[in-house]
């Protein structure tokens, strides 16, 4: 497999994941603000985990979300 094809395949996967996850995260944050769990002006840490037994990878990436 050519490196360009691999890079493109991974980028496509990540774009799909991002497109599916973003609306879910936005809705969860809106619900948390509406219920009072969040005030709407703070920050918190979130995490995304990717795992694949076939390729032997299990990684969690943490990042700060600031409102």
Instruction: Give the pair of three-digit tokens for residue 18.
Output: 């991002």
Q: Quote the tokens at residue 45.
A: 């840490």
Predicted local distance difference test score (pLDDT) of residue 62: 98
Q: Is the pTM of this model over 0.85?
A: no
pLDDT at 1: 79
> How far, CA to CA in Å, does 37 sit from each of 32, 33, 67?
5, 6, 14
The structural domain count of the chain equals 1
Please report the pLDDT score of residue 53 as a whole number. 97
Q: Which domain holds residue 37?
A: 3-66
Q: Is the model's pLDDT at 17 over the cut of 90?
A: yes
- Residues 6 or more apart whose CB falls under 8 angstroms from that of 26 comprise none
Q: How confident is the model at residue 65, as a pLDDT?
A: 95
**Counts of helices then strands in the chain (DSSP H, E):** 1, 2
In residues, how long is the chain? 67
């Amino acid at each position: 497999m050519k490196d360009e094809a691999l890079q493109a395949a991974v980028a496509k996967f990540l774009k799909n994941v991002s497109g599916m996850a973003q609306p879910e995260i936005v809705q969860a944050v809106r619900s948390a603000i509406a219920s009072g769990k969040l005030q709407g002006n703070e920050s918190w840490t979130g995490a995304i985990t990717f795992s694949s037994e076939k390729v032997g990878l299990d990684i969690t990436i943490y990042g700060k979300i600031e409102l």
